[in-house]
Amino acid sequence: MRIVFSGGGTGGHVYPALAIGEQCLQDHPDSKFLYIGTSSGLERDIVARSGLDMPFEAVEITGFRRKLASLDNVKTVLRFLRGVGRAKSFLREFKPDAVVGTGGYVCGPVLYAAAKLGIPTLVHEQNAIAGLTNRFLSRYVSTVAVSFRGTEGIFPQAKKVVYTGNPRATSMVNADAARGFSSLGLTPDARLVVVVGGSRGAKAINEAMVELAPLVHELPGVQFVFGTGQPYFESTAQRIQEAAGSVPVNLQVLPYIHNMPEVLAASKLVVNRAGASTMAEITALGIPSILIPSPNVTNNHQEHNARSLSDEGGSVTLLEKDLSGRVLFDQIGKIMEDSVRWEHMAKQSAKMGQRDSAALVVRELEQIVSAGQRRR
């Protein structure tokens, strides 16, 4: 199959596309891909690192301001129209069998252009609350795929809605824990807690970790790995050293964890935001978690994501307003020092996972491509 992927802004909008691409190659080894993103997000670098043969093209687009009369919104409409025209030129040249959108503003012009050209289209909604771009696109695309069971009704104008889970989960299934331990210089018996704040890092989590660092010696059997996010690394690492006197022996501070699937496969507990890809990763591996939803997202969708798992007992939801180093440390200790609780959380986390998600998306792609060919 010839597939165009579009999604951008954060890693959470890119990794599901790559997982679908990997599954396409497994099922259809002659598949060809094109990625259309923005030049300002993380997608260009992530796609380049993926190892997939996937050329990259850029379309520039921004989101709407909440104030409808804003001059910026007029500029956004103009960028959208220009983006549609640019996307159409890419699509006509590549001649895809289908176009897949995995989130972010860039999907708007790309998927709209594809629908207007009569190309089969699929949008994947990763969150429990639908984003503005996907709500707009749902009335035009062939299929909307959702990540959470029972959320099919959030797209009342869609032609077809299917539950697939998040394809990022599939990428985690074969993650090699031994390579994760080795990359961190740890032995396979290490009890690992991974703390991150999403692909770009999170200031609030970093602040809490500065406060927590002097306490980690109180859990001597636990190894902490903390990804600050590249922009925060130097200042956060320095503050941790100052707060703890020196970086504790059971704490590694890194700017970014490039082999996240392998590191997560090695972990016993994850502390993170509650983005869609994070949810897919931890449930695919059945890892207990402490989720700290970002309050700075549309419709507070991360809290809805987090509570979908904590309500089932697979995680603890800790709101940012309640976050501190001591509170976070206490929550970590309660899980890591209680094997019965850890086992229950791991079991409940795994029950929420959809490990064959990418295969389900590819099956749907096969159907819409076949239907599109019959109509021609």
On the question of pLDDT at 75 being above 80, the answer is no
Q: How confident is the model at residue 71 (pLDDT cuts 50, 70, 90)?
A: low
The answer on 19 and 152 residing in a single domain is yes
Please say if the pLDDT value at position 68 is more than 70.
no
Confidence of residue 73 (pLDDT cuts 50, 70, 90): low
Domain extent, residue 132, equals 2-166+355-375
Q: 240 and 257, same structural domain?
A: yes
Annotated binding residues for UDP-N-acetyl-alpha-D-glucosamine, as ranges? 10-12, 127, 199, 257, 302
Domain match, 252 and 295 both:
yes
Structure token pair of residue 333: 């200790």
Q: How many domains, the chain? A: 2
CATH number, domain at 73? 3.40.50.2000
Are 295 and 267 in contact, with CB atoms under 8 Å apart?
A: no
- The string of pLDDT tens digits covering residues 155-199 is 999 999 999 999 999 989 889 999 999 999 999 999 999 999 987
pLDDT at 328 over 80: yes
Radius of gyration of the chain (CA): 21
Say whether both 59 and 131 belong to one domain: yes
User: Mean pLDDT of all residues in the chain?
Assistant: 92
When pLDDT is cut at 50, 70 and 90, the band that residue 60 belongs to is confident
pLDDT by residue (tens digit) across 218-251?
998 999 999 999 999 999 999 999 999 888 899 9
97 & 209 share domain: no
- Specify the pLDDT at position 131: 83
Same domain, residue pair 98 and 218: no
Binding positions are: 10-12, 127, 199, 257, 302
pLDDT tens-place string over residues 261-316: 999 999 999 999 998 888 999 999 999 999 999 998 877 889 999 999 999 999 99
**DSSP assigned state of 339:** H
**Alpha helices in the chain, H assignment, sequence order:** 15-27, 43-49, 71-94, 107-116, 132-137, 168-173, 177-183, 203-212, 233-244, 260-266, 276-285, 301-310, 325-336, 339-351, 357-375
Whether 291 and 312 have beta carbons less than 8 Å apart is answered as no
**C-alpha dist (Å) from residue 333 to 160, 317, 327, 337:** 45, 15, 10, 6
Confidence of residue 359 (pLDDT cuts 50, 70, 90): very high
